[in-house]
Amino acid sequence: MLKSGERWKSSWLCREGEMPTPMRGGLKEKTCTKDRVIIFRSSFPTTPKTKGKAGKVRIPRTGFISALTAILFGVGIFYFHKKRLASIVRLTGIEFISLGKYARSMASRIGIIGGTGVYDPKIFDIKERISLSTPYGPPSDCVQVGTMDGVEVAFLARHGSGHVLPPHMVNYRANIWALKQLGVERIVSPCAVGSLKEDYRPGDLVIVDQFIDLTKRRDYTFYDGARAVHVSLADPFCGEMNAIFAKEAKRLKIPHHVGGTYVCIEGPRFSTRAESNMFRNYADIIGMTLVPECQLARELDMCYTSLATITDYDVWAPEPVDLPTVLRVMSENVEKVRKLISATLPKIPVKRGKCACPHTLKDAGI
């Protein structure tokens, strides 16, 4: 029984022994009982009409009755609120997506996670802005759905509107989950990085192919219990998309590096000179946002490409990096990234058949 003023969150249905989320992970404090249980929690405050109507609802074992009851209960919740309702219900092995009054056939197979510098209203035609809730909390911002050169894309600002979220506070799980809800299969992730090698110069673009994780306190997986899942990340980035972006960068004569190892640190501070010199032995570039974003995408069978713009030589060089330098160099080179993304998106195939990304989970479970 909810008390007045308490908030519900979302909805899931699970079977015996499973976690009450579509991917069976993330909500360690709740487990299923002997019968199937559906847990309904809306993202809006209770009202006199809805107060006390949430909680655990026992559903009979019969599949048809379970499905019918869940649908009717969902319609009832939506009727009471009459607001946008975003949730995923996993029912008899089928995932349904409800987006309230924004429900429609989503065609956004490509998602872009980046800063406000990448977004340009001249090349990005917004059709709608969608606010979503996820089992892991809200994403960094609303998802803007629109088109770039005739290709429908979903854009999400990693650090939120106005760049208010530092790297270690970004809700990476919610961001990836939100894009997955909208049907996104491929993610393009522009970012700013520092260079650890002299030949990786400020202004160059790196199409990353490996990473080293030195973060410390982030949520790294959707599988926190009920099932052991070990995803292979020997090649963490989509080879097909990397090759397409590399070909277009060469055609556009954009200074770039095909391949590079990205060492991801916790942040938000920059490295010490000792740390920077140590990192030079293992990696080519350094940043704060690649992990766990990249691996979470692979856990949901999504393709992921990182387009890293070098802004500085970190602190191993005579002139140590600072934020004004990063912002200045990024603003000077962001047009290259926009141009590359705009030119490449129409050339990315609709079907994914040349990479292993869609099959990541095939042999990952125990």
204 noted as active-site residue: no
Catalytic-labelled residue, pool 149, 314, 322, 363? 314
How far apart CA 25 and CA 199 sit, in angstroms, is 43
Q: What is the DSSP letter of 49?
A: T
3-state secondary structure of 176: helix
How far apart CA 56 and CA 51 sit, in angstroms, is 14
3-state SS of 291-360? Answer: CCHHHHHHHCCCEEEEEEEEEECCCCCCCCCCHHHHHHHHHHHHHHHHHHHHHHHHHCCCCCCCCCHHHC
DSSP H or E stretch at residue 155: strand 151-157
Q: With the C-alpha atoms ordered 187, 190, 194, 200, is the resulting torsion angle positive or negative?
A: positive
Tell me, what amino acid is at 347?
K
Among the listed residues 289, 268, 265, 169, the one whose alpha carbon sits nearest the alpha carbon of residue 212:
265
Among the listed residues 271, 285, 356, the one whose alpha carbon sits nearest the alpha carbon of residue 320:
271
Q: What is the DSSP letter of 21?
A: S
Catalytic-labelled residue, pool 204, 209, 224, 312? 312
312 noted as active-site residue: yes
**Non-local CB neighbours of 194 within 8 Å, separated by 6+ positions:** 270, 285, 286, 287, 310, 311, 312, 313, 314, 321
Alpha carbon 120 to chain centroid, angstroms: 20
How far apart CA 118 and CA 114 sit, in angstroms, is 6
3-state secondary structure of 287: strand
Q: What is the DSSP letter of 232?
A: -
Active site residues: 312, 314
